Amino acid sequence: MPTYAYRCRECTGTFELLRPMSESGAPAPCPDGHTDTVKLLTTVALTGAAAGPSAPAGGGGCCGGGCCG
């Protein structure tokens, strides 16, 4: 399940929620109980190190792992 970041417009605090993609647009009250919140745009960084120890040294992908050809 993905994690979504939100910001409360009332107290300006930020918080994260782990929820299904189908609920990403659902209202998300802040931990202090305020309901005027907005979902933040976040980015995800994917690196070869996150793939685990069995990943090719070149990071995989087309021509990066030496499997093309």
- Give the pairing type, strands 3-8 and 14-18: antiparallel
The upper half-sphere exposure of residue 64, i.e. CA atoms within 13 Å in the direction of its Cβ, equals: 10
Cα–Cα distance, 25 to 15 (Å, whole number): 15
Name 10's Cβ contacts closer than 8 Å, sequence gap at least 6.
30, 34, 36
Cα–Cα distance, 14 to 34 (Å, whole number): 12
Per residue of the chain (69 residues), what is the pLDDT tens digit?
889 999 999 999 999 999 999 998 899 999 999 999 999 988 766 666 655 555 555 555 566 556 665
18: its two tokens: 């782990």
